[in-house]
Amino acid sequence: MAKIDQQISTLQERLTQLKLRQQRLDLRRQARAAQLERKAETRRRFVVGEVILDKVRSGQFDADQLRTWLDEKLTRSADRALFDLPAKSA
């Protein structure tokens, strides 16, 4: 009977190790999926920005409207400086 109990104990330890391994793999997959989604979102933003800037350059979109939107939305000094907007006062 002791031998069977030892086998059960060994198998339970192995099962615990495998479950822990599975959890780690799941966490890695989730982290990778989140990373890919962040990259895709960054790419979408870049592409949309390129389209809008192209429309502004070709005169199909009002540059003053874009500047107004940027002035309303941008708060960081570095971001505002990219578009020659004055720093916002606190």
**Measured between alpha carbons, how far is 7 from 72 in angstroms, rounded to an integer?**
69
The model's pTM:
0.68
Per domain, the residue ranges of the chain are: 2-82
Quote the pLDDT of residue 74: 95
Q: Does position 6 have pLDDT exceeding 70, yes or no?
A: yes
Among left, alpha and beta (phi > 0; psi -120 to 50; other), residue 75 is alpha
Give tens-digit pLDDT for 33-64: 999 999 999 999 999 999 999 999 999 999 99
Distance of CA 72 to the CA centre of its chain: 24
Quote the pLDDT of residue 88: 84
